[in-house]
Amino acid sequence: MTDTITRQADHDFFKTKYASRQKWNGLPILECRVNDPSAGSVRVAFTREGTRICVIYLTRTLLKKAFTQELESFLKGAGA
């Protein structure tokens, strides 16, 4: 998974979108779909600060609306 996300970062996450209006440690939360050989298709929420990427949520839920609901619930519980 790390290799796949790093590879996408090298291509500047061309399909990345904002995942939430909330912030994580003061940074915007981004999301994209990742097709990883070991995990299959997943959707990832992460923050990016320079070259540092922090994955905060990973799920097999691919539908954007359902993913957003899961993420918002997670963030609410995490106190983001």
Q: Where are the domains of the chain?
A: 2-66
Q: What is the DSSP letter of 38?
A: T
Distance (Å, whole) CA 31 – CA 15 = 9
What the block records as the tokens of 65 is 């609306």
Between residues 16 and 73, which one has the greater pLDDT? 73
CA distance 43 to 25: 20
Q: Quick one: pLDDT at residue 79? A: 67
Average pLDDT over the chain reads 88
Mean predicted confidence (pLDDT) in 16-34: 93
How far is residue 57's CA from residue 38's CA, in Å, rounded to a whole number?
A: 17
Helix (H, G, I), strand (E, B) or coil at 9: helix
